[in-house]
Amino acid sequence: MKLYDAEWAPSPRRVRVYLAEKGITVPMVRLNLRKGEHLGNEYLAVNDRATVPALVLDDGSVLEESAAICRYFEALHPDPPLFGTSPEEIGRIESRIRQVEAEGYAAVVYCFRNSAPGFEDRAESGNWPPLPQIPQLAERGRIMWDSFLQRLDANLQDREWIAGDRFSYADITAMVAVDFGISVRLPAPEERENVLRWHKAVSARPSAQA
């Protein structure tokens, strides 16, 4: 088994934080995205979509997408459960994961990929024909980011963790989205006190360093 990883990027970090929470160790190959190693022939032979992370299983098959890699490990190592156990909890966690992706991730990725130097013709992550940056989409991302933080704050008003009274993959997803936003200079949640309280709690877990 071998996990293709990359520093700084949010999707690989989601997997590292998940593995740290579960106490799972996996051999890793760290790609240098700034040098474009994910777009080189060696990695394209592993994953022709050029997305990172990717997990190569012992039979040679490849799992892409951070949520899919984490669900694979969750099925292998159910404890501690990070995707829920009861039907209601399973549904609620998935609902929150996808809400954070559709609002927070979408916002920061719109903003970052459509404004950062070095992505001029690669405005979507993955392996595509040239896709030019769209400045108005970066602007849309900034509007969405503010709504995301506002809704996240309301969601955290009467619960300790994103999906209820237990830390879950929804918290990992949201922490990584918030930290990625801050790292690309979107506004930090300074006036959102529920987000601040929650963010302090998730960031204090040892897994946040992964």
Please say which residue, 28 or 134, places its beta carbon nearer to a copy of itself. Answer: 134
Tell which positions 106-165 bind a copy of itself, by CB under 8 A: 106, 123-124, 126, 128-129, 131-132, 134, 136-137, 140, 143-144, 147, 151
Please say which residue, 101 or 179, places its beta carbon nearer to a copy of itself. Answer: 101
Please say which residue, 145 or 208, places its beta carbon nearer to a copy of itself. Answer: 145
Closest CA to 132 of 146, 141, 122, 145: 122
Residue 23 found at the interface with a copy of itself (CB under 8 A) = no
Residue 2 found at the interface with a copy of itself (CB under 8 A) = no
Number of residues that bind a copy of itself (CB under 8 A): 44
Cα separation, 191 vs 35, in Å, equals 37
Q: To which residue do tokens 């394209």 refer?
A: 44
Cα separation, 18 vs 160, in Å, equals 19
Residue 90 found at the interface with a copy of itself (CB under 8 A) = yes
Residue 86 found at the interface with a copy of itself (CB under 8 A) = yes
Residue 46 found at the interface with a copy of itself (CB under 8 A) = no
Least Å from the CB of residue 130 to a copy of itself? 8
Residue 80 found at the interface with a copy of itself (CB under 8 A) = no
Residues at the site binding a copy of itself, with contacts judged by CB under 8 A: 49, 55, 57, 61, 63-65, 67-69, 71-73, 75-76, 86-88, 90-92, 94-95, 97-99, 102-103, 106, 123-124, 126, 128-129, 131-132, 134, 136-137, 140, 143-144, 147, 151
